[in-house]
Amino acid sequence: MIVAKFGGTSVADASALRQVDSVVESLLREHNPEGLVVVLSATSGTTSQLLDIARNAGSGRPYRDELDALVTRHRNIATELVGSPDCVAALVTSCREFADAVAVLGEWNDATLDAFSAYGELLSTAIFHSFRQASGHASMLVDARALIVTDDRHQQANVDDVATAAACRTVLASHTKVGSVVITQGFIAASHSGATTTLGRGGSDYSAAIIGSCLDAQQILIYTDVSGVYSCDPRLVAEASPLPVLSFDEMRDMASYGAKVLHPATIAPAVRARVPVHVLNTFRPAESGTIINASVPAESRMHAVSILRNVRTFSVPRDVGSLLTGNESIGPDIVLAITAANRHTICLHNVSPQMSALLDAMTTGHDVPMRQTCIIAVTGQGMTCPDITRRIAERIDAAARSAQTAVISDTCIVCVVDETDAENCARALHGLVTRRPDPA
């Protein structure tokens, strides 16, 4: 069994969906798996558009023009691929009726947003399934709400692992045979009561990881518009290149500190089940991409540099720092806390006005100058090695006017630097990166 997930840019239009079908057929020919589950996101930008429509409709603001544009785009994709928009007719009617009902009620809530945003994935999978049928390629369309069971929390539901595993095995058991293709949706799920829920942004990767782990998949393939996970942002460092192999821990650290391709929380089920995750390029499928697995090489090496921008950094006495880190409204948003002597250095990411006001209230009576910084993370293996920490410190000292460095784990060292120094620091540190050999 192989699970292959295709993101929003991979299903953005008719041309992209043709390429997805080509990749699916290649997987069947080359791997001959005992079943292939294809997980699709909504077309690029659709989820945000649906959320805007629902909020506008429920708030008495205009929404019909945006809804018409969304409907027209999907009808056009269906017509180009299948020759007719009939495959989305029922969904389009339902989507319009839902938006109009929200407008009549004059209100919306998180349950409304979940139910309405689900139309994105329902539309993309209906079109792709119809296209495969029209092309003579067999597949079966399965509603993800019959596979992934959650609690009643909306916008970022918690998955019931036991119920989900039972549902996946029951529903998909008859389709785990050589040559079979099941198409389903990412991002959406259903509560025990049957209400539509969603898994939060990045939810399609999460859906693929859940299904793959429940079915003991051979591997989970994450198809996107880049050729794997890069050693640094190639827009910043021209020499950056895809990493052939990453450990789960390295991927976690990279994503926590700025890498955008994949967030570790979304592949946590695969980590627990020890199912390898392969990040590939939909539009360049022959490129090797990045394999993320549990293997940890013995050598001490630096493999990647990432930047987390828009970080607010400040220093407070230890007793105040303990209050902040333990506060349920602030603690979860702390991306880094460094303890030195009698003070805490705290880093918060994307501080909202509400968070800023809370910080002011909790630090009253203390002089707490805050500065805009970035966190530079260097990830690899054996990062506690004295030679590695020394070389990183030397590069940072040469590139930054001021910096604070901390060893996070054996796979990650972070440096807090001023925004104006961040890019120079990243380029300097990337010069230390050692490319790992391709997996055998």
pLDDT, tens digit, for every residue of 48-68? 999 999 999 999 999 999 999
pLDDT digits (tens, 9 = 90+) for 161-172: 999 999 999 999
> Of 206, 225, 244, which one is at a domain's C-terminal end?
225
> Of 225, 258, 282, which one is at a domain's C-terminal end?
225
Sole residue written with tokens 């009726």 = 97
Query: CATH number of the domain that 30 lies in?
Result: 3.40.1160.10
What pLDDT was estimated at residue 440?
Answer: 47
Total number of domains constituting the chain: 2
Phi, psi of 277 (to 5 degrees): -115, 130
The predicted model scores a pTM of 0.88
> Of 225, 252, 267, which one is at a domain's C-terminal end?
225
Query: CATH number of the domain that 417 lies in?
Result: 3.30.2130.10
- Report if residue 242 sits inside a domain: no
The Cβ of residue 235 has, within 10 Å, a number of other Cβ atoms equal to: 8
Which of 93-107, 267-281, 284-298: highest mean pLDDT? 93-107
Query: ∠ CA 260-261-262 to the nearest 5 degrees?
Result: 100
CB half-sphere exposure, 287, CA atoms < 13 A:
19
Q: How many residues does the chain have?
A: 440
Q: Which is higher by pLDDT, 268 or 151?
A: 151
pLDDT digits (tens, 9 = 90+) for 93-148: 999 999 999 999 999 999 999 999 999 999 999 999 999 999 999 999 999 999 99
pLDDT digits (tens, 9 = 90+) for 338-367: 887 788 888 998 888 888 888 888 888 777
Its domain, for residue 331, covers 301-430
Q: What is the DSSP letter of 177?
A: S
Phi, psi of 175 (to 5 degrees): -110, 5
Which strands make up the sheet holding 277-281, listed edge to edge?
A: 140-141, 181-185, 36-40, 2-6, 219-224, 277-281, 290-293, 245-247
What pLDDT was estimated at residue 259?
Answer: 82
Q: Copy the structure tokens of residue 66.
A: 């945006």
Distances (CA, A) of 323 to 97, 258, 316, 369: 49, 27, 10, 18
Alpha helix segments (H runs only) across 83-199: 89-105, 110-134, 161-172
